[in-house]
Amino acid sequence: MATTHSLQTLTKLVGDFVVQQDGFWNHEQWETLCSQVGALGMEMDESFQEHLGLMLEHLRVFYFCLPAAAPAKPKAKPKAKAKAKAKTKAKAKPKSAAVSVEADPESVPPTIELK
């Protein structure tokens, strides 16, 4: 299994924070979040805190714009069954010129016996 990138850990932490706070937080909660992010090994300098704050504000916008639950993925449609091939009609057999013996015994030529 692939390892989790620090970005994924950070975004999950920040996203969970926004959801848990219902999109509103105070300065003390902000500082607690900064401590949690710093515990991940991030250097919490002024620039990083500024960008973290921007990330929070952007996630807040998404929090209020998106539905609470992600829509379920549509189920894959079952494959359509292949249409059965139409049976080909048997070709009509050509009528033979010969008439069977049972139909007309007189039409059969006499046989000659060889001695």
Q: DSSP string covering 39-76, please?
A: HTT----HHHHHHHHHHHHHHHHHHHHS-SSPPPPPPP
Whole-angstrom distance, CA of residue 8 vs CA of residue 87: 59
Residue range 36-82, pLDDT digits in tens? 999 999 889 999 999 999 999 999 999 999 888 877 777 777 676 76
* pLDDT of 62: 93
Residue range 9-21, pLDDT digits in tens? 999 999 999 999 9
CB atoms within 10 A of CB 33: 20
Looking at the whole model, is its pTM more than 0.75? no
